[in-house]
Amino acid sequence: MSPTTTFALIRHGQTDWNAQQRIQGATDIPLNDTGRGQATDAVTALSGYDWDFLVSSPLSRAAETADLIAAGLELAVTRRIPGLVERDYGPAEGLRAGDELEALRFPGGFHGAESEADVAGRGIDSLELLAREHPGARIIIVTHGTLIRLALARALDREVGSIDNAALTLVRHHADGWRLDVLNGELLHPRETAVVRAKTPE
């Protein structure tokens, strides 16, 4: 029986652009004080499990969130993984809802932005690489909301809603596929728990 690798997927804490409802994407915006508090609070939810190490996106809001969680759990952040950066929204970054943003929108995305399929693909690739390199490990991954949402939707073949700042999402990977146990800090009812067989690569 192949080992199961467990991932805690944590969106970074709040930034000023989050609070202002601006599209952030690949722009490197730091945590604000609320975000630092959220990162510290995430330690409580994570302390109910045993973890081996953390990895994060290299963007500063994710890296600092990971460092704060690591300090609280007395663990190491071992890698900053480029494949875990947030979706690049191109010219839409920094914009809020309004005419300027709507002018960039088309069905399924924004002009000049990275496609959802590409984001989901590199997110899944990053998770599967970690599972191959560390079979059976329990890994905390601090990354970004859109990347988590799109990667989970691809892995589970289901719609996934928005991901809250610093909330715990728990997913398990094994040879037969993926299992989602906790989403946005909420333990899923057994009937809602998603188990999907691994797909043959296209």
Domain ranges (residues) in the chain: 5-18+31-88+115-197
The b/e string for 141-151 (b: 16+ C-beta within 10 A; e otherwise) is bbbbbbbbbbb
pLDDT tens digits, one per residue of 87-121: 999 999 999 999 999 999 998 789 999 999 999 99
Q: If you average pLDDT over residues 61-79, what whole number do you get?
A: 98
Q: If you average pLDDT over residues 139-148, what whole number do you get?
A: 98
Tabulate helix, strand, coil % of the chain (nearest 5). Answer: 35, 25, 40
Q: Which H or E run contains 56?
A: strand 53-56
pLDDT tens digits, one per residue of 164-185: 999 999 999 998 899 999 999 9
Other beta carbons less than 10 A from residue 77's beta carbon:
17
190 pLDDT band (50/70/90 cuts)?
low
Q: If you average pLDDT over residues 176-195, what whole number do you get?
A: 80
Lowest mean pLDDT among 9-13, 97-101, 158-162, 173-177: 173-177
Phi, psi (degrees; rounded to nearest 5) at 67: -65, -40
Q: Is the pLDDT of residue 27 over 60?
A: yes
Annotated binding residues, as ranges? 11-18, 61, 86-89
Annotated binding residues for substrate, as ranges? 11-18, 61, 86-89
Q: Is the pLDDT of residue 198 over 50?
A: no
Which residues touch 151 (CB under 8 Å, ≥6 apart)?
A: 119, 120, 123, 124, 127
Separation CA 83–CA 170 (nearest Å)? 19
Topology, domain 5-18+31-88+115-197: Rossmann fold (3.40.50)
Q: Is the pLDDT of residue 12 over 90?
A: yes
pLDDT above 90 covers a percentage of the chain that reads 89
Give me the active site residues, please: 12, 86
Q: Is the pLDDT of residue 194 over 80?
A: no
